[in-house]
Amino acid sequence: MSVGLPGTGVGGLFYLVSALLMPFREAYRVKAGTSTRRSRTVVCRQGLMALGVLGGIWLAGWLIGLMLSHVPAVAAALNAVPGLAGRSGNMLKVASVFLALGTLAAIVGAVEILGAVRRWRSPRTAQPASRNPSHIARPAA
């Protein structure tokens, strides 16, 4: 995650992933016959906003990489790493997005695992069926 870079936090990336998966759900709804024109409009609008946010994240990462490559100390450190010489801008913009996506995946995965453990460890409280029908309300005669 990049501090101060909008859209790369966990909440922002959760929105992006959700908005980019909406067309797949809407395609399923179209196939099932439950889609409406209004829902397709919402999906299109949210998808375009998510693509705009992704473009902004990419542009900000590119600009940060470009600016940092002109700082002599940073440029010397990045050029000293084999395979990164001259690629510092590209590395920074890609790393910021993948780091944030990895964080989001780790959080969502941990929540799912903890939910499964909670369900597995919770006591089973199934009530046996009553054999005495006297508790059932009967209509008045």
For residues 89 and 71, what is the distance between their CA atoms, to the nearest angstrom? Answer: 12
**19 or 69, which is more confident:** 19
Give pTM, 2 decimals. Answer: 0.56
**pLDDT higher than threshold 80 for residue 85:** no
Band of pLDDT at residue 86, cut at 50, 70 and 90: low
Mean predicted lDDT score pLDDT of the chain = 77
pLDDT band at 8 (very low <50, low <70, confident <90, very high): low
Sign of CA dihedral 109, 110, 115, 120: positive
